[in-house]
């Protein structure tokens, strides 16, 4: 198994608000206890202790861990990580419709708040990523997810999102689209494809994550994404989340600094009330961090 070190953030210049959540990161391992299955990329050395260091270094109080594809539907590493954070970190698992109700309820007790479905293709194989589950499984799973208060998280191309959303909207679940809708920046923020995504984002059930690192051709400033970012903030501020995508699988030496990504977000949004809404209020509502607040007195 090929491995690679995970990049840790630099110290932030400005403290994040209490309760700020990074809503998209991955944990791998400890690999001696939880080895992955086959992977098309080097596995980051990003166990729960390293992840905790990332959150602390960048100034996040909370986080959301996404089941990475090399673990398939084996959620042992995810559940192990969630157990170490006392509710400060929630999870998104992967499952198909063969999962039992008993396992769904066990995942819910562990801190899982939704399931991820992938419609993107692996550029190396031209097929869906190994270990991922497509939205065809969601029709059977949705009636079982809804009583738990779970949502569906979907990674798909921007051009496919309107079709996907309208197909699953009758299920009545909140839907979170990864990576700002995975648009092509070359198409422009005023193009038809992104405009159709903005129409989806006007629905009360549609959320997306402000995640820059996989969309830009103009790093480290990400200037080509500013218009898209602004349009989303204007259109759906109550249904935006922020996600780093740490530890940046497949990015290698091009992995960004999480703190740099946060600094760009704060610079672009500017308004402290909006920053608090996106980093604190929206994830608190969607991922149900309220129990943690009762314990901590927030």
**Spatial contact of 185 and 219, defined as CB atoms under 8 Å apart:** no
> Which SS3 state, helix, strand or coil, does residue 45 take?
strand
- Residue 209, H or E segment: strand 206-210
∠ CA 221-282-263, nearest 5°, is 20
> Which SS3 state, helix, strand or coil, does residue 241 take?
strand
Give me the residue label for tokens 């990161």: 25
What pairs with residue 234 in β-bridges? none
Give Rg (Cα) of the chain: 18
Return d(Cα 47, Cα 30) in angstroms, integer. Answer: 5
* 62-66 sheet: strands from edge to edge: 21-25, 62-66, 89-93, 112-118, 151-155, 175-177, 206-210, 240-242
Cis status of the peptide bond prior to 220, with omega within 30 of 0: yes
In the set 245, 257, 281, 288, the catalytic residue is 245
Indicate if 245 belongs to the active site.
Answer: yes
Residues labelled catalytic = 245
């Amino acid at each position: 198994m090929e491995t690679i070190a995970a990049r840790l953030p630099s110290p932030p210049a400005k403290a994040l608000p209490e309760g700020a959540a990074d809503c998209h990161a991955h944990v791998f391992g400890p690999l001696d206890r939880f080895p992955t299955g086959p992977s098309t990329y080097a596995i980051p050395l990003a166990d729960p202790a390293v992840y905790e260091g990332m959150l602390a270094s960048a100034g996040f109080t909370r986080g959301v861990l996404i089941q990475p594809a090399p673990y398939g539907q084996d959620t042992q590493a995810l559940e192990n990580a969630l157990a170490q954070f006392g509710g400060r970190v929630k999870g998104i698992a992967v499952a198909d419709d063969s999962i039992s109700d008993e396992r769904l309820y066990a995942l819910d007790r562990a801190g899982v708040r939704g399931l991820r479905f992938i419609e993107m293709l692996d550029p190396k194989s031209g097929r869906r990523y190994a270990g991922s589950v497509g939205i065809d499984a969601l029709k059977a799973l949705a009636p079982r997810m809804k009583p738990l208060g779970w949502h569906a998280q979907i990674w798909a191309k921007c051009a496919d999102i309107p079709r996907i959303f309208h197909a699953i909207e009758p299920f009545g679940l909140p839907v979170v689209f990864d990576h700002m809708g995975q648009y092509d920046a070359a198409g422009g923020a005023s193009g038809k494809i992104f405009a159709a995504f903005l129409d989806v984002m006007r629905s009360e059930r549609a959320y997306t994550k402000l995640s820059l690192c996989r969309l830009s051709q103009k790093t480290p400033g990400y200037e080509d994404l500013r218009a898209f970012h602004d349009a989303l903030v204007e259109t759906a501020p109550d249904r935006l989340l922020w996600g780093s995508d740490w530890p940046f699988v497949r990015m290698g030496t091009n992995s960004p600094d999480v703190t740099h990504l946060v600094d760009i977000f704060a610079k672009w949004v500017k308004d402290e009330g909006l920053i608090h809404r996106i980093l604190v209020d929206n994830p608190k509502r969607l991922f149900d961090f309220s129990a943690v607040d009762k314990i901590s007195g927030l």
